[in-house]
A and B are shown apart, each in its own frame.
Chain A
């Protein structure tokens, strides 16, 4: 055993792609593993840790009664808890489930057998337990994860960028999607991803969640200028931002 900080990864309802982003770091991963002791990481390890964790990295949304109990138990055993990836930080695409009545969506997928599959409305991790750090994104942007991990190890706060994706997008000199006739959620979505999707010719889907103080008047101007139907915008908002409703209650 070493006295290196003990780090564990846990997954809830998600695709585990954010964990995979760690494996995708290549040999740089070995440098990270030099600084910490990974004591539990189901995606790649059989080992399990019975003690407390210095850092618990949580991937996925809370969607079953069992998951609520499990995340509470992990929180109690963790000095620092990091919500990792959109599913954990804002419900991610799992939030779309909340656009439907639970019985309706359960019955659609499993018909008469629906009763075997208990489910509750999707919640982000901070809507169930206290979260110390947020790494937004679907998937996470690896350079940001390394920044957050460093902050957590040093015990200093990490400030999630709170300007819109447009700021980084403009710096990258992309042609605005609105100018190309497409509706993009960049103007109201938190930066920090380096405008990943727009750099690659796609629109912003809002995976990092809304900035804390969106420029509503500006957004209304844009919607008017480009004659955008309200339901189109709302539908897009409901892909990653549906769980926000639970914050406002």
Chain B
């Protein structure tokens, strides 16, 4: 090993789950310091929720994140309905599963194409790719828009969905809406094929670190995204109410994102965790894609989270089309359309209680927890966000990775570290603005 000094200081890495910096300090060939600093301006959502109506929780918490706004919506609603003792209908659950498929598809596509692809194609962003890889960029924007258009029809818009609320939907898709969504998704299939073709030619860095993978697990055959227990590859399994025993949050001074750990020093959530936990439940085209891309459980290369996302894209598109067909066959019951507002008309009966939502959103398992009084006023709120759960694991990865790549140049080390963090898709801008990389001591 080289007895060298390396100091990586990547400032301003990020967003909601963290504006962040990468700090690495190697002295005489040994790693002295290695951390992912989360310096996001805290927004205090949990504090702001207190004394507001549980019927406003979705509207507020979906605004934690513009990228996985629908994911927060679904976790928030699940927790809220659990807290007030409301059971959603089968039709509602089906529509929510469909929405979640679209959310994961949309977010993964954005990450794969606009954030990761530039690295693999040697560009600083997707903008230069407009000239060098015009067809790829156009395909990416087309697929992204397709997801967006489906969400526009289903819930009014993708960023901060309108009609998906506690109790169900304020507007249900008409027959022509179902047809329109189905057509958009079917038209996306050739683009998905082309995406897989490009992806199979991409080379990802080689690096292995075994960790504990955490995500939803279930007893049925459905790849669990919207509902389930919480499980891990180290054999943990408990119902969602035990989420605090899973996350064991602790605060560290260099981060406004709380850190988490379970059976070992750290654990990972996200597409790779889900694939490792529930591979057998992926739909057949997704299994086929996984085989073609050469990924199978238990995969311990964090860079391949992007590949796992691709496999999930295939799964979610397939599942979404299937759900739409089911809805078309069964027909939509429009009597379930509701107008709730702040429940001033007591449309939905409310009892005091505590509720937990545990939903797999694009970046991993998301928990919302609310306590409400008998008027449905929020007394306590807690949200545990996927990226928070990954930060500690990313640091452990960096600690193992840095000594293994010390023979590389500073630029190469920095890029490897950026790509590692980016692979976790910590949140969109996290991945795109690792700037002002400073090397000292050289």
Contact = CB atoms under 8 A, between A and B. Distances in A.
Interface of A: 11-21, 23-27, 29-30, 33, 38, 41-48, 63-64, 66-67, 92-94, 96-97, 99-100, 104-106, 108-111, 113, 116-117, 119, 138-139, 177, 180-184, 196-197, 199-203, 205, 228, 232, 235-236, 239
B165 A26 contact: no
Nearest to B256: A117
Given A16-B66, A23-B110, A109 B341 contact: no
B16 A15 contact: yes
Nearest to A45: B125
Interface of B: 12, 15-16, 41-44, 46-48, 50, 52-53, 56, 59-60, 63-67, 69, 110, 114-115, 118, 124-127, 130, 137-138, 141-142, 144-145, 148, 155-160, 162-163, 165, 169-171, 251, 253, 256, 337, 339-342, 344-345, 428-429, 432-436
Given A46-B124, A119-B41, A232-B344, 9 more contacts: A11-B429, A15-B16, A27-B145, A29-B141, A46-B125, A97-B43, A110-B256, A197-B156, A197-B162
A235 B169 CA distance: 24
B339 A201 contact: yes
A19 B344 contact: no
Given A15-B63, A138-B63, A239-B60, A47 B125 contact: yes
A33 B46 contact: no
Contact of B42 (A14, A119, A139, A197): A119
10 contacts: A30-B138, A44-B428, A45-B126, A48-B436, A106-B47, A109-B47, A117-B256, A139-B157, A182-B339, A239-B56
A46 B53 CA distance: 41
A112 to B, nearest CB: 8
Given A24-B159, A200-B162, A43 B428 contact: yes
Nearest to B12: A42
Given A27-B145, A180-B339, A205-B59, A13 B125 contact: no
B187 to A, nearest CB: 13
A176 B53 CA distance: 22
B422 to A, nearest CB: 10
A138 B60 CA distance: 11
Contacts of A67: 41
A113 B44 CA distance: 14
A111 B251 contact: yes
Given A26-B144, A201-B339, A232-B342, A94 B43 contact: yes
A64 B69 CA distance: 24
Nearest to A198: B162
A110 B251 contact: yes
Contact of A33 (B12, B127, B341): B127
A183 B341 contact: yes
Nearest to B60: A93
Contacts of B64: 15
A105 B341 contact: no
Contacts of A15: 16, 63-67, 69
Contact of B124 (A25, A38, A45, A116): A45
A105 B48 contact: yes
A93 B59 CA distance: 10
A18 B12 CA distance: 20
Given A12-B41, A16-B67, A42-B429, A100 B344 contact: no
Given A26-B145, A139-B66, A201-B171, A117 B114 contact: no
Contact of B63 (A23, A48, A92, A203): A92
A200 B170 contact: yes
Contacts of B124: 45-47
Contacts of A119: 41-42, 44
Nearest to B160: A139
Given A15-B16, A17-B160, A100 B141 contact: no
Given A42-B433, A184-B341, A26 B42 contact: no
Contacts of B432: 42-46
B41 A25 contact: no
B345 A17 contact: no
A201 B337 contact: yes
Contacts of A109: 42, 44, 46-47
A41 B428 CA distance: 12
A177 B160 contact: no
Nearest to B119: A46
A24 B158 CA distance: 9
A203 B59 CA distance: 11
